[in-house]
Structure 1
Amino acid sequence: MGNGKTTKKVKEPVRLREKKLANGNISLYLDIYRDGKREYEFLRLYLTNAKTPLEKKQNQETLATALAIKSKRTIEIQNGEYGFTKQFKLDTPFLEYYRKMCADRLKTETKGNWGNWRSCLKYLETYCDEKTTFKDIDADFINGFKDFLNNVEKDTHKRTHKHESELFQPLSQNSKVSYFNKLRACINQAYEDRIIPINPLRGIEGFKAAETERMYLTLDEVKKLDQTPCKYAHLKNAFLFSCLTGLRKSDIEKLTWGDVHQEGDRTRIFFKQKKTGGQEYLDLTHKAESYMGTRGKDSDKVFSGFKYGSWALLELRRWVLAAGITKDITFHGARHCRLSFPLRMNGLRRLVS
């Protein structure tokens, strides 16, 4: 019984439609009507001509997935989010995106840091899979990766069932810091690239770096090294030069004779720090100058043949032990030598442009 008025039916903004394909399967898609405009979203979900109970169950699951997406789109439209979320590419495969970042950084990063990017990839490939997209990258995913790094020797067994010799070993604290920072950089870049609308890292703390004790050489120990033969003369000269100047190994590797200038009785080197990019100059002592050897062409490397790597570290440690020094010394320790610090403070100047 009514008052003669008819109730206008509100048009459903999102409808699930079917399209029959040539092979007999049915493709599911959404018919979306919004702001007077119609568009279609093909879901890449298909119903087959089911005959067995298993095939019928698969069709039911596929249909349930399609209805869930339909409900999500309806809510997005009601909340005014549909046009906003469409601007982003949440379907981007996460591991594929991370691998591209690794490839791009091969040209710009140091060998060691790029190696950390590659190592982190191995852990990510174990933690998630190729189906993971940026839709899945949320706070739970990130905190889960932190837990995974903390318990990696246990989780790899549960996740991969690899042979015991292939399982990951427990990670050092600084490795956890490095790998989490690689994930952080990837997510931050995805946010900048408008892959994701909201950065899920907000409020999540990374790992804290472990405090490490740096080993220093005393003046007497540097004198011992100076008097002890080393298998590779360029390694010995470069290391002692770093002890006296505080230059990083990366700056020593690329130092050319064109960077070395004679000004009266003073020798000065001009260089651009590889790590900081700062343009600086350093006045050398006569002892530091003696480790550079005979001057070559401007384009020649001062320490020709010096290239720091695992072999150089091994030979450095052999040389240090031969000098009767039991400290665990790396090339990085040379620039923190107690002898080089006051010399750097007196001799190193940054050029102001």
Structure 2
Amino acid sequence: MKIKEIVRLREKPLKDGQKSLYLDIYVNGTRSYEFLKLYLQPETSKIAKEKNKQTLLLADAIKAKRIVEIQTGEFRALKNNKVTLMSLIESRLARKDSVIDKYLSKILRVYLKDKDIELSKITPKWVERFFDFLEHEFKSFIKKTPLKASSARLLGNRLSGALAEAVKMDIIKDNPCQKVRAIKAQESQRTYLTQEELKRLASTPYERGERVTKAFLFSCLTGLRFSDVSKLRWAEVSEDFKRITFVQKKTSGLEYLDLSEGATKILKERKNNGGLVFYDLPRESGNAGKLLNSWRVRAGINKKISFHTARHTFATMLLTLDVDLYTVSKLLGHKDIKTTQIYAKIIDKKKQDAVNKIPQLF
């Protein structure tokens, strides 16, 4: 005997060729519909097919959640398809398992006292109060210390990004975060290596940490984050070792990066096992950092470095070599050139320091 599904995922064809996804829910003799504001595109390209695949995964995750809610007695049929903040955040997590979104979800549960709020009821005033909570009231879950300004800003930006998605999906008309002053982050000190220091480091042997040193130098020459270097696969490297095509873990953007001779040389020296390029890297960047700092001490460099120092080094090196800001922005995979301008300030300071070394003549 066939068991009747209580929740079915259905498609509604639209005039523009897209298909609107919705849930057909039948509980206790009552049928209700939940339009997910998710759409399948005509599959005219690989990108469209991949996007549809991700959309269906998200829809299936929402469907699974509704089934659990029905089984536990928590399900309430939505009136007029009212979407809540926590369901929006959970849908983002279902699509991409983001550490930041997970943390935002935990903080929102604290702020909302394990309740929820409809997106339509989130006003600029509500956002202001939540931002103030992040900046002045919230204490971290483990250390019980206030959030750093940069962390509070990042969380505020994630909330704004989630609400911007809701606007695109026609769930709400406007993003209330856009009518509120953004959380201002203190400008952090960006440690980078000069070209002289980088050459000294590259010429300093360190057998114990070689699995990290080569990856670090590759990052210095490409600007890749640890998360992207550690997951780089040979399938993403061109046959002549001069270009890599990869998806940035942080932004999920597809990137095409041409490589310098130095970066190409590092790849050629690696053993191609058909899998990960840097297969022997530690899983955590912190563990890699310990080896890096032992290495820089051997090289006589008096700067504490981390793997992200490599990305800063790449950016400042290009700007020092007079590469224009737009090109550097594209090579770093920045969506907003304002992010790259921070490095321009560093170079301006270097130029000022150089001018200050000119001796007084009178």
- The interval holding the TM-score normalised by the smaller chain is 0.5 to 0.7
Question: In the alignment, which residue of structure 2 is the partner of 1:304?
Answer: 279
Q: Deviations over 1:50-75 (max 9, x none)?
A: xxxxxxxxxxxxxxxxxxxxxxxxxx
- The 8 Å contact of residues 244 and 340 in structure 1, kept in 2 or not, is answered as no
Contact preservation (8 Å) 1:245, 1:288: no
Indicate the residue corresponding to 1:27 in structure 2. none
- Out of 111, 117, 131, the residue aligned to residue 127 of structure 1 is 111
Q: Is the 8 A contact 2:150 2:186 kept in 1?
A: yes
1:152 paired to 2:128: no
3-state DSSP of counterpart to 1:231? helix
Answer whether contact 1:292 1:303 (CA < 8 A) is retained: no
Q: How much does 1:148 deviate?
A: 0.5
For the pair 1:184 / 2:160, whether they are aligned, the reply is yes
- Which residue is 1:259 aligned to? 237
Deviation, 1:221, is 2.3
Structure 1 Cα separation of the partners of residues 223 and 117 of structure 2: 46
DSSP-derived class of the 2:276 partner: coil
Per the alignment, residue 32 of structure 1 pairs with none
Tell me, which stretches of 5 or more residues in structure 1 are unaligned? 1-85, 107-113, 157-163
How many Å separate the matches in 2 of 1:202 and 1:245?
A: 34
Q: 1-side partners of 2:247 and 2:176: how far apart?
A: 35
Aligned to 2:245: 271
Cα separation, 2, equivalents of 1:335 and 1:89? 44
Q: How does the TM-score come out when normalised to structure 1? A: 0.57
CA RMSD of aligned residues (A): 3.7
* Residue in structure 1 matched with residue 215 of structure 2 by the alignment: 238
The question of 1:315 aligning with 2:291 is answered: yes
Tell me the distance in 2 between the aligned counterparts of 1:189 and 1:165.
28
Deviation at 1:251, TM superposition (A): 4.4
CA–CA separation in structure 1 for the residues paired with 2:321 and 2:269 = 20
Please list, as runs of the form range in 1=range in 2, the aligned pairs for 1:1-20 lying within 5 A after superposition: none
- The residue number in structure 2 matching 1:280 is 257
Structure 2 residue corresponding to 1:104, chosen from 95, 99, 107: 95
1:224–1:280 distance in 2 versus 1, CA, 3 Å: closer
Partner residue of 2:172? 196
Q: Structure 1 runs of 4+ off > 6 angstroms?
A: 346-350
Q: Distance in 2 between matches of 1:258 and 1:204?
A: 42
CA deviations on 1:21-78 (whole Å, 9 max, x unpaired) are xxxxxxxxxxxxxxxxxxxxxxxxxxxxxxxxxxxxxxxxxxxxxxxxxxxxxxxxxx
Larger Rg over CA atoms: 1
Amino acid at match of 2:245: F
Tell me the distance in 1 between the aligned counterparts of 2:128 and 2:270.
Answer: 56
With over 3 angstroms needed to count, the CA separation of the structure-2 counterparts of 1:191 and 1:327, relative to structure 1, is same
Per the alignment, in what secondary structure is the counterpart of residue 133 of structure 1? coil
Q: 1:277 to 1:100 in 2, by over 3 A?
A: closer
Cα distance change on mapping 1:145 and 1:268 into 2, 3 Å: same
Q: 1:224 to 1:104 in 2, by over 3 A?
A: same
Deviation at residue 278 of structure 1 after TM alignment:
3.2
Q: Name the % identity.
A: 25
1:220 alignment partner in structure 2: 196
- Residues in 2 aligned to 1:220 and 1:308: alpha-carbon distance in whole angstroms: 28
The amino acid across from 1:121 in the alignment is S
Structure with the bigger percentage of helix: 2
| Partner AA of 2:210 in structure 1 | A
Instruction: Give the direction of change, closer, same or farther, for the CA distance of 1:332–1:211 in structure 2 (3 Å limit).
Output: same
Are the counterparts in 2 of residues 116 and 179 from structure 1 also a CA contact under 8 Å? yes
Q: Which has the higher contact order (CA 8 A, sep 6+)?
A: 1
* Residue-pair matches, total: 242
